[in-house]
Amino acid sequence: MNTHDGGADAPEAREAGRSGEVDAVADAPDASEASQPAAPVEPRTGVAALSLRYRIGAAVALAVVAAAVCVHLGMVFLHIAPSNTVTKAHGKAIDEWIYPEFEQNWKLFAPNPLQQNVAVQVRAQVRTADGGSRETGWYDLSAQDGRAIDGNLLPSHTQQNELRRAWDFFTATHDDDNRASGVRGTLSESYLRRIVVLRLERGGAAGAGGAVERVQVRSRTTNVAAPSWSREKISTDPAYRVLPWWRVSDDEARGGVQ
């Protein structure tokens, strides 16, 4: 009886054993998968690679730059906008922000587009290294800017506008006899003088060991010629506006203009 029961139970035990082996094999990790190395972790780049402190600093710097850009655009808009309550109440603050570097010029557009070529030129009285004095010829600064821009896909704002806007600022604040009108006239003289002195220093006008003592600025204006199909007759002879000699301060003479 016992033998019969044991024989009946044997196939079931063998079947259960095979089932357990199958489950164990199914649960065992694949040898090929175990031998493969773990995927490398991609390193962080850019701002994400910075520590928390530097990320906060970058965010603050970005916010400050964005705020400055918004303020500048707002000031420019108020400067060119028609007179309104804001400009009447804060006109002085707007002018102090805009002048002289950011003044806007609309002479390109109708009804009075600019139809002249204006070149700004300068010459200098130089103290030489041996204590002597000499006067340079005329430097055509506008022509220098034109050569720097010609063929340049990304000319700088300085090359395109600094000298031109400085001259426009001067003529807008002086009468035909070159007399300044108010505080802005004095500011425009200083601004223009600093630009031309810096350009002379960069060009080596004073020579080795020399220094620029005085400068004189003039403009050369010629009308744009009429097109070939037009019957309009326009004189293209140049007209000059010569300013008085300006004395250069010691700091400027030593190249201290920035």
pLDDT in tens, 104-121: 766 555 555 668 899 999
Each residue's pLDDT, cut to its tens digit, for the chain (258 residues) gives: 554 554 445 555 555 555 555 454 455 555 555 556 666 667 777 777 778 888 898 899 999 999 999 999 998 888 878 888 888 888 888 888 888 778 776 655 555 566 889 999 999 999 998 989 999 999 999 999 999 999 988 888 888 889 999 999 999 999 999 999 878 899 999 999 999 999 999 999 988 888 999 999 999 999 988 888 888 888 889 999 999 999 998 777 665 444
| Helix ranges restricted to H, the chain | 2-27, 31-35, 52-80, 85-98, 141-149, 157, 163-172, 183-202, 250-253
Measured distance CA(222)–CA(240) in Å, rounded: 9
Residue 55, phi then psi, degrees to nearest 5: -65, -40
119 bridge partner residues = 220
Residue 89: both structure tokens together:
């109440």
Measured distance CA(18)–CA(30) in Å, rounded: 20
- The CA-CA-CA angle for residues 122, 252, 202, to 5°, reads 55
pLDDT in tens, 78-95: 887 888 888 888 888 888
Predicted TM-score (pTM) of the model is 0.59
- What pLDDT, on a 0 to 100 scale, did the predictor assign at position 254? 60
Measured distance CA(202)–CA(200) in Å, rounded: 5
Residues 6+ apart with CB under 8 A from 72: 97, 102
- What pLDDT, on a 0 to 100 scale, did the predictor assign at position 15? 55
